[in-house]
Structure 1
């Protein structure tokens, strides 16, 4: 198939992924008014485990400890990413939580530094500085404006960055389905004790089941579209296009809750998007 056709498919898949994941966040924000975050994470993870289990039949292979170690790091990063993202959704506007989560690429060089000891090249500092200026606009770290839930939202980006780096490491050794299955299984196991620590119940009220179903189904579909997008188009194209998810989140926030981003959130959006564009252009030149 022609490269241009593949890239177009990748862009369409990315936009579809961004929209579907914005619906996930919308349903999650509403579900959390009735159940604890850990309970939601448990049920969405268990649903995806049950969907992926039949797909893994006959595909299991013996893996060395080094691979299982990366599996756990990837799963832990994804778990932290969703848990802290959902916690942030409870306390800050949807568009701001989504903006902070999209900062994950800014955190990737620091995760690589910690995991592999690879220093950040001088050329990479320009987009990083521009991006973190955008983060500062959103968080507004002054005594009169600082909201700790913005920091919680930023931790979700760190978790997502860890999962991105380790997913890349696993991609050369295991299938994408295995990576997702192990992630959702670990997420199910990690969220279970949190449910009981928070004193919540695994039994869901009847009125919350439709919302949990929407979260679980759209999450699985979103992950599928995300993987497809990366098979059709390079990361240098998928990464900036996926930023359209912030626009979808802003739309839902305006329609459902009447949230209008202030000038600082808009400036933060522009700076973060600019940093992603600079990074992708650098990646193309290096490629």
Structure 2
């Protein structure tokens, strides 16, 4: 298979991944009407942990040994907080706004790297950052009456995802993907499960079915994501992730009658423009700049 064929196949896989992830967001919004965010996140991580056990333990128990448990724990805490805030935002704001804010995570990666490693941000990265964050500001709608706090929670979710991206990039230098996912699911489950113990009483089978579906689809999207990015350069397929914003707008209109207003459309256009410009610039990184952008860290509406 030629590289062009591999890239085309990776794009198809990414399209499937984004479509499946959008249905997980729909299931989350449905389940959150009766189930707590803690319950949804707990079931999600429990299902993902069970599904990844076979692959993780295939080489034997020795595959669980790690010298970087502190970083695993930090990455897990950032990931679970990101999912928690994203799901809470989905419950209270239009789906397209929540998904779009989540998609702004790659814009924050250079800032996270600067804070973490004190690595300078390339001069060429400032234009897409300014464009993208202008879009975030439009969606957050700051006004004299105050900030839209649920929108702010959606953006903090993106910041947590950016931290998780950078931590994953650092872990991947020494840890296999199966071990990273195992500890992410396990530690995230331990973080949130104690807060959901009393939240499962009174749930109908519909909520249970939705939560199980969320767990299965999150795991499946992670597997598809890994496969796609192993087949082709990130800059060739990362733009597909912005289809998630269009799908979110479609689901929100079809199921909940949510029609994006002018400000949501304008903010979406700016964030997507900033993201695409970042991806384009990532094709030719500045010499000596090791900051993990989208090409190194990956992106997506439901990435861990």
Q: TM-score range by the shorter chain?
A: over 0.9
Where does residue 220 of structure 2 map in the other structure? Answer: 221
Q: CA shift at 1:203, angstroms?
A: 7.3
- In 2, distance between residues paired with 1:75 and 1:128? 26
Aligned to 1:263: 262
1:120 aligns with 2:121: yes
Partner of 1:27: 27
SS for the counterpart of 2:17 is helix
Alignment-derived partner of residue 12 in structure 1:
12
Gaps of 5+ in 1: none
Matched with 2:298 is none
In structure 2, what is the Cα distance between the partners aligned to 1:111 and 1:124? 13
SS for the counterpart of 1:81 is helix
The CA deviation string for residues 42-85 of structure 1, in whole angstroms up to 9 with x for no partner, is 01100111111122221615322xx2222122212211111100
Aligned to 2:52: 52
Following superposition, the deviation at residue 37 of structure 1 comes to 0.2
CA contact (8 A) 1:15 1:245 kept: no
| Contact 1:137–1:267, Cα closer than 8 Å, also in 2 | yes
Aligned-pair RMSD on alpha carbons? 1.6
Give the TM-score normalised by structure 1: 0.94
- How far off is 1:26 after superposition? 0.3
TM-score of the two chains, using structure 2 as the length reference: 0.89
Q: Deviations over 1:176-204 (max 9, x none)?
A: 121111111111111112225xx524774
- Cα distance in structure 2, aligned partners of 1:88 and 1:195: 18
Q: 1:217 Cα deviation (Å)?
A: 1.3
Q: Could you give the per-residue CA deviations for residues 212-260 of structure 1, whole angstroms, max 9, x where no partner exists?
A: 1211111111111111111112221232221111111111101000111
Contact kept, 8 Å, 1:48 with 1:184, in 2: the verdict is: yes
Instruction: Tell me, in whole angstroms, the C-alpha distance in 2 between the residues paired with 1:191 and 1:204.
Output: 18
Runs ≥4 residues deviating over 2 A: 143-146, 199-207
Partner of 2:101: 100
Equivalent pair of 1:239/1:276 in contact (CA under 8 Å): no
How big is each residue's C-alpha offset from its partner over 1:78-99, in whole Å with a ceiling of 9 and x where there is no partner?
1111110001011101110000
